[in-house]
Amino acid sequence: MFSPDDLSWDDFMGGQLRIAQPRYGYRAAMDPVLLAAACPARTGQSVLELGCGAGVASLCLGRRLGDVALAGLELQPEYAALARMNAQANNLSFDVIEGDLSEMPAELRAQTFNHVIANPPYFAPNNGTKAADRGREKAQREDTPLATWISAGMRRLKPAGWMTLIQNADRLSDILVPLAPLAGNIHILPVAARRGRDAGRVIVLARKGAKAPLRLLAPLVLHNQDRHLQDAEDLSDIAQSVLRFGKELQVVG
């Protein structure tokens, strides 16, 4: 487990959340905030996060909506404990369960949810340099295939429930192939750092059992300038509304 000296306390959504994270392990940045903002959950609904880590995405969602039932599944016990601590520190209710999504814990198999969200590891097993920190490596490098994440999430969804994922853009086909037989009304939101740049991330939303056609949306551009011109934040208006003020990112109508 992490000791107090192992942790830093970081602000998210302009200080609406204070989150403890390991100084040298896996550290959340903007991706879980974007994931939470894109989830079309509403007050009174239930949300399951697969691989919740320190709890950033779920707690961002809880802060935005208030009355929402949050559950998380986390493989690494030290991060599960951190997620529980962060929920308590921010006065939010978050039921964090330790376990492997490929062998879903019985208490989650007995439940279904309006929404499932996930920020799966970005790197394929043999892609890139191995991280020195074990927790960071486990969080960033795929051990369980994306197809397993998707099938596990779909089984936990209520009929017509939504799955929301954020992933590297080059993994889009790895998402769509297993997703297509299970869901429709798929919305793909490319996320680009600056105008004219290729998308580095994609946010994908899909509705269980739906038949509506796929939609490829205009990209979300995170920064105003075509390149970094000064030592100051230059977030676009929409990125600032999400990352600094905790507003919803409306991907589906």
Query: What distance in Å separates the CA atoms of residue 161 and residue 184, rounded to the nearest whole number?
Result: 11
Assigned CATH for 4-243 = 3.40.50.150
| Token couple for 108 | 């989650």
pLDDT tens digit sequence for 169-210? 999 999 999 999 999 999 999 999 999 999 999 999 999 999
The structural domains of the chain, with segments of one domain joined by +, span: 4-243
Sign of the dihedral defined by the CA atoms of residues 29, 31, 32, 33, in that order:
positive
Give the model's pLDDT for residue 232. 54
Environment class of 91 (CB within 10 Å of its CB; exposed 0-12, middle 13-18, buried 19+): exposed
pLDDT tens digit sequence for 88-143? 999 999 999 999 999 999 999 999 999 999 999 986 666 655 544 454 445 455 58
Sign of the dihedral defined by the CA atoms of residues 150, 151, 152, 154, in that order:
positive
| Token couple for 143 | 């051990």
Query: What distance in Å separates the CA atoms of residue 75 and residue 108, rounded to the nearest whole number?
Result: 14
| Token couple for 147 | 């197809």
Query: What distance in Å separates the CA atoms of residue 43 and residue 240, rounded to the nearest whole number?
Result: 23
Contacts of 40 (CB under 8 A, 6+ apart): 115, 162, 164, 205, 250, 251, 252
pTM attached to this predicted model:
0.91
CA 109 to chain centre: 21
Which residue, among 68, 13, 8, has the nearest Cα to 35 in the 3D structure?
A: 13
Environment class of 131 (CB within 10 Å of its CB; exposed 0-12, middle 13-18, buried 19+): middle
Average pLDDT, stretch 66-83?
97
Q: What is the mean pLDDT of the chain?
A: 92
CB atoms within 10 A of CB 52: 28
Does 31 score more than 80 pLDDT? yes
